[in-house]
Amino acid sequence: MHQVVGRWVAAFNSHNPAEMAALFASDVLFQGLGPEPLVGRDAVSDYYNAVPPYRRAVGVGVLHAYAIGDDVAGGFVDVTFRDPADWEARVYLSLVLQRAGSGWEIRQYHVSRVSDEH
């Protein structure tokens, strides 16, 4: 989990949509901050291409990780997105990872904004 999240942060902060998409399964189920779930690497690449290049992921920490056998893992990640104009969004990422060859790819991705309100 930590290695995949580290690669995700590096690709996000360098604004590299192709590198971002390569972290995901070819048929990933992806729910970003937009209103609709997306499916597939091309949709993920398009999503990240629309993110302003000056936006950064900071304060990233794995909150919890777990394994389901040898080939599936999941967990929750705390992330704050920021930009130079003081825009900020704190979110939790819910990730499901699947072993792919000698590494891991993101099989399912869901982002949820963190709020003090219930």
Write out the H or E segment, with its range, that includes residue 65.
Answer: strand 56-68
Report the pLDDT value the prediction gives residue 68, as an integer from 0 to 100: 94
Report the pLDDT value the prediction gives residue 115, as an integer from 0 to 100: 81
Domain ranges of the chain: 2-113
Residue-wise pLDDT for 34-65, tens only, equals 889 999 999 999 999 999 999 999 999 999 99
Residue-wise pLDDT for 6-23, tens only, equals 999 999 999 999 999 999
Q: What is the mean pLDDT of residues 99-116?
A: 93
92 Cβ contact list (under 8 Å, min separation 6):
63, 76, 77, 78, 79, 111, 112, 114
Fold of the domain spanning 2-113: Nuclear Transport Factor 2; Chain: A, (3.10.450)
Q: What is the mean pLDDT of residues 72-77?
A: 97
Burial class (CB in 10 A: 0-12, 13-18, 19+), 28: buried
Report the pLDDT value the prediction gives residue 118, as an integer from 0 to 100: 58
User: Cα–Cα distance between 84 and 112 in angstroms, integer?
Assistant: 22
